Amino acid sequence: MSVLIFIDVAEGSIKKNSFEALSYGAKIAEQLGTTAEGVVLGSVNDDLAALGKYGVKKIHHAVGAFSHFDAQVYTKAIAEVAAATGATVIVFSNIISGKAIAPRLSARFKAGLVAGAVALPDASNGFTVKKNVFSGKAFANVTVNTDVKIISLSPNAYQVIAGEGTAEVVTANVTAAS
């Protein structure tokens, strides 16, 4: 049981939204009493071990056919990492990549999906996530009852929290290919 966070990369650099997702996912892991782990696809110029300061303990880095975004290939690769780690919560940023991958992953795992989350889940009585509805004019509280839960975090909805620490970086052996 772990929380897996997708770390989105553009031209070798980690996107700002990924730091929000890392902080958010680490806080969920803390609430659930489990570990937060990240997954990166493709080559990265940034120091992946330094992402530990955002609360993740391990980074799964898959290199290979990830130079151009392909939602089907990314979905398959993330699904393999999620299955290998036993992830019960998977976190994305609600940007183009997250909007393309999260629903596919939801169908693959038969998992509940909350797109556009704006607050941490309430795990005291089930697993309820607050999200924007009606173009941000109202909120809805969505309860997810599936074993695997997928959340895509709205941009700028959660503060980036940096502390101390380093993450263990491991190579993820995935068979996804375009």
**pLDDT exceeds 90 at position 168:** yes
Residue 57: exposure state from Cβ atoms within 10 A (0-12, 13-18, ≥19): middle
Quick one: how many helices (H) and strands (E) in the chain?
Answer: 3, 11
Contact assessment for residue 17 and residue 93, using Cβ atoms and an 8 Å cutoff: yes
What angle is formed at CA 175 by the lines to CA 87 and CA 147, rounded to 5 degrees?
Answer: 20
Q: How confident is the model at residue 178 (pLDDT cuts 50, 70, 90)?
A: low
Q: How confident is the model at residue 65 (pLDDT cuts 50, 70, 90)?
A: confident
Alpha helices (runs of H) in the chain, residue ranges in sequence order: 16-32, 71-85, 96-109
Looking at residue 124, the DSSP 8-state letter turns out to be T
Q: What's the confidence (pLDDT) of residue 68?
A: 87
Q: What's the confidence (pLDDT) of residue 1?
A: 82
- Distance, in Å, from the CA atom of 140 to the CA atom of 163, rounded to the nearest integer, reads 31
Q: What is the pTM of this model?
A: 0.95
Residue-wise pLDDT for 113-155, tens only, equals: 999 999 999 998 899 999 999 988 999 999 999 999 999 999 9
**pLDDT exceeds 90 at position 176:** no
Mean pLDDT of 57-73: 90
